[in-house]
Amino acid sequence: MLYPILTPSRLLSDLSGVWDFKLDNGEGFDQEWYKAPLEDPMTMPVPASYNDLKEGIDFRDHYGWVFYQRKISMPSFVKTQRVMLRCAAVTHYAKIYLNGELICEHKGGFLPFEVEITDKLQDGDNLLTIAVNNVIDYTTLPIGGKSNMMNGMGGFGSSSSAKPQNNPNFDFFNYCGITRPVKIYTTPKDYIEDISLVPEVTGTTARVSYKVDTVGTGDCKVEVFDKEGNLVAQSQGTQGVLEIENVHLWQPLKAYLYDVKVTFGEDVYTLPYGVRTVRVEGTRFLINERPFYFKGYGRHEDTFPNGRGMNLPMNTKDMSLMKWQGANSFRTSHYPYSEEMMRLCDEEGFVVIDETTAVGVNLDFGGGANFNGQKVSTFDKEHGVQTQEHHKDVIRDLISRDKNHACVVMWSIANEPDSYSEGAYEYFAPLYELARELDPQKRPCTLISVQMAPPEKDCSAKLSDVICLNRYYGWYFGGPDLELPEQALRKELDYWKTLGKPVIFTEYGADTVMGMHDTTPVMYTEEFQVEYYKMNNRVFDDYDFVVGEQVWNFADFATSQSLLRVQGNKKGIFTRDRKPKLVAHYFRDRWHKIPDFEYKK
């Protein structure tokens, strides 16, 4: 799927701004709110999560539908074009109405979808209504708990409550709404539908295989321009090879982007593109044929009061802070991040592990799920999760959106799933197969292994190209005495060594309250956080097949209320408003001393 841009053949209108908004307590569809202007609406900015923008727990924890509404109009001359309405992300389920008519439905809260409205537009004003549902359950990704089934990570359960509630089976707040931009764009009737680019590099020459998907008739031309605007390669036809001499490679933290200009009939689209190669060889992760070491974070798209709403200034600030520390990478935990963030990573040279929305696919959390007193396994055919087909849709949409990003070096199929129980291999193997089939660049694939997964039973050991471990030795397991956790961590790594695959630690961390200090490093103090990371990093440095460390988390973030969470998760290296804790300076010193390449020769 192409990112919407303004070109000589394409118009673009951003519908960001203040919309009318109304919570639905079960009346909206019966009363057909989508057919007329909302009565007594609130105001609500788009894009943003709505949860923190009005006062009251009933608003923040609203369960079910909300309605967004505004009027749109288009110039009469665009009727000769193809007119598309595109939503970058609506969390978690959307119904779109235009002038009272249902024109689109979409499941999934973190990837774009679009619908043609050319023949639906009326002269003058048109009433656009987007109904949004935030319910999460055993059929959605991320996973939410079922009534009478489980408590989950969300804290207080709903099984005995008269009022319906969401039960997130994950440890971050279930922010909802229209969280990314809504746009209208146009194309000619004969248009470029998609572009796929696959690089190969030999010496100083790059051969970029391309495929242009088109609708209609017309001649196709593809041109490549360097940063100075010089034409460096060109080809005719919808498939071919672009040969770039003296190629400038896209490198971590040293990005170089070409402009790939595609012309099909009257339609023109320009794609920024970085040339780089990625592959796994033995226990090494190679970018441009050099062994790369991941330094960075698991993160969240989480700010106040935007929630998970797109926040361009904070994206820029986060990039600056990570560069200040010497970080070179992050994972889009636990969902695909905004297209604007991915484009920024291409420009800034950040390396990204791109993750699906599959978090909570593990019914062992919170003591496990049960039905009528009987324990339920994750993949129980009757009472377990029912997400595999939706999971496939998410993988399709993610790869379609992000396949051309140079920053993306690996796909993460899921975060901390049940990868060790009966049925796990049968659930995940087809997903790996699908991702490898769909990705034209054939990037490595992984899933993020939870600590409770016995290594000898973890199906990711067979399926993944890279072993990615979330491990909390010294915090959830074995803390606060760090000597025994260190021994346990070394023992586990001795097992992973036998597989002959690279290992990345994609989470490790300790909750820390900013400003809490002690001469003795006790838990929750800033001093303990430093000692915790020193222990873990000391172990990583002793194993040459460990090719990365991504700290959990970049910044403190919001969660559901819980006895374990005091105004959210405090594992951040920075506070939620991006003030550094003591450990931020420790990592700045460490990471600037570790080269991006050839750290462990």
What is the DSSP secondary structure assignment for residue 77, as one 8-state letter? G
Displacement of CA 69 from its chain's centroid (Å): 27
**Contact, 161 vs 178, CB < 8 A?**
no
Cross-strand pairs, 85? 115, 184
Structure confidence by residue, pLDDT tens digits, 356-406: 999 999 988 765 665 556 678 899 888 899 999 999 999 999 999 999 999
Cross-strand pairs, 343? none
**Contact, 171 vs 559, CB < 8 A?**
yes
Asked if the structure places residue 186 within a domain, the reply is no
Structure confidence by residue, pLDDT tens digits, 48-88: 999 999 999 989 999 999 999 999 999 988 989 999 999 99
User: Are 388 and 242 part of one and the same domain?
Assistant: no
Task: Say whether the peptide bond before residue 199 is cis (omega within 30 degrees of 0).
Answer: no
**pLDDT given for residue 375 in this prediction:** 76
Asked if the structure places residue 154 within a domain, the reply is no
User: Are 260 and 295 part of one and the same domain?
Assistant: no
552 closest CA partner among 492, 594, 510, 489? 510
Confidence bin at 160 (pLDDT 50/70/90): very low
**pLDDT given for residue 154 in this prediction:** 40
Least confident of 107-111, 157-161, 247-251, 380-384: 157-161
Provide the number of structural domains found in the chain. 3
User: Are 471 and 430 part of one and the same domain?
Assistant: yes
User: Are 251 and 291 part of one and the same domain?
Assistant: no
Structure confidence by residue, pLDDT tens digits, 208-238: 999 999 999 999 999 999 999 999 999 999 9
Cα torsion for 363, 364, 367, 373, to the nearest 10°?
A: 60
Identity of residue 581: K
Question: How far apart are alpha carbons 474 and 552 in whole angstroms?
Answer: 14
Asked if the structure places residue 468 within a domain, the reply is yes
**Contact, 354 vs 414, CB < 8 A?**
no
Confidence check: pLDDT of 148 > 70? no
Owner of token pair 């594992």: 571
User: Are 300 and 417 part of one and the same domain?
Assistant: yes
User: Are 291 and 397 part of one and the same domain?
Assistant: yes
Confidence check: pLDDT of 157 > 60? no
Cross-strand pairs, 13? 184
515: containing domain = 280-593
**In percent, how much of the chain has pLDDT > 90?**
89
SS percent in the chain: helix, strand, coil, step 5 = 20, 35, 45
Asked if the structure places residue 289 within a domain, the reply is yes
User: Are 488 and 520 part of one and the same domain?
Assistant: yes
What is the DSSP secondary structure assignment for residue 448, as one 8-state letter? E
Residue 146 phi, psi dihedral angles, 5° rounding: -90, 150
Q: Is 373 buried (19+), middle (13-18) or exposed (0-12) by CB count in 10 A? A: exposed
Per-residue pLDDT averaged across 159-172, rounded?
76
Q: If DSSP codes are grouped into helix, strand and coil, which group holds residue 124?
A: coil
User: Are 102 and 233 part of one and the same domain?
Assistant: no
* pTM exceeding 0.85: yes
Pick from 240, 256, 273: which residue ends a domain? 273
Q: Which of 339, 416, 526, 549 is catalytic?
A: 416
Q: What is the largest CA-CA distance in the chain?
A: 74
Count other Cβ atoms within 10 Å, centred on residue 217.
8
Confidence bin at 564 (pLDDT 50/70/90): confident
DSSP string covering 301-369, please?
A: --BTTTBTS--HHHHHHHHHHHHHHT--EEE-TTS---HHHHHHHHHHT-EEEEE-S-B---TTGGG-E
Q: Which of 507, 526, 527, 531 is catalytic?
A: 507
Question: How far apart are alpha carbons 46 and 87 in whole angstroms?
Answer: 11
CB-based contacts of 160, cutoff 8 Å, min separation 6? none
DSSP string covering 238-268, please?
A: SEEEEEETT----BTTB---EEEEEEETTEE
Round the average pLDDT of the chain to a whole number and report it: 95
**pLDDT given for residue 369 in this prediction:** 64
Confidence bin at 600 (pLDDT 50/70/90): confident
Distances (CA, A) of 422 to 78, 373, 430: 55, 20, 15
Question: How far apart are alpha carbons 575 and 580 in whole angstroms?
Answer: 7
Least confident of 7-21, 98-112, 137-151, 212-226: 137-151
Question: How far apart are alpha carbons 313 and 88 in whole angstroms?
Answer: 18
Question: How far apart are alpha carbons 396 and 439 in whole angstroms?
Answer: 9
Confidence check: pLDDT of 419 > 90? yes
Tell me whether residue 507 is one of the annotated catalytic residues: yes
Asked if the structure places residue 411 within a domain, the reply is yes
Cross-strand pairs, 287? 278, 290
CATH label of the domain that carries residue 126: 2.60.120.260
**pLDDT given for residue 479 in this prediction:** 78
User: Are 387 and 288 part of one and the same domain?
Assistant: yes
372 closest CA partner among 76, 159, 598, 580? 159
**Contact, 297 vs 553, CB < 8 A?**
yes
Confidence check: pLDDT of 597 > 80? yes
CATH label of the domain that carries residue 222: 2.60.40.10
DSSP string covering 416-468, please?
A: S---SSTTHHHHHHHHHHHHHHH-TT---EEEEE-TTS-GGG-THHHH-SSEE
User: Are 247 and 108 part of one and the same domain?
Assistant: no
Tokens (6 digits) for 64: 């079910």
Asked if the structure places residue 7 within a domain, the reply is no
Question: How far apart are alpha carbons 135 and 575 in whole angstroms?
Answer: 29
Owner of token pair 């963030």: 341
CATH label of the domain that carries residue 379: 3.20.20.80
Question: How far apart are alpha carbons 552 and 298 in whole angstroms?
Answer: 5
Identity of residue 272: P
Confidence check: pLDDT of 32 > 70? yes
Looking at 457-557, list the stretches that DSSP marks H as alpha helix, in order from N- to C-terminal side: 460-463, 483-497, 526-541
Choice between 166 and 572, residue whose per-residue pLDDT is larger: 572
Asked if the structure places residue 598 within a domain, the reply is no
Least confident of 25-39, 114-128, 147-161, 218-232: 147-161
User: Are 329 and 378 part of one and the same domain?
Assistant: yes
**Contact, 522 vs 528, CB < 8 A?**
yes
Pick from 238, 273, 308: which residue ends a domain? 273
Residue 196 phi, psi dihedral angles, 5° rounding: -125, 135
Pick from 243, 273, 303: which residue ends a domain? 273
User: Are 269 and 317 part of one and the same domain?
Assistant: no
Structure confidence by residue, pLDDT tens digits, 294-334: 999 999 999 999 999 999 999 999 999 999 999 999 999 99
Structure confidence by residue, pLDDT tens digits, 507-539: 999 999 999 999 999 999 999 999 999 999 999
**pLDDT given for residue 371 in this prediction:** 57
Asked if the structure places residue 549 within a domain, the reply is yes
Confidence check: pLDDT of 156 > 70? no
Count other Cβ atoms within 10 Å, centred on residue 79.
13
Element (H, E) at 176: none
Question: How far apart are alpha carbons 96 and 106 in whole angstroms?
Answer: 9
CB-based contacts of 488, cutoff 8 Å, min separation 6? 473, 477, 478
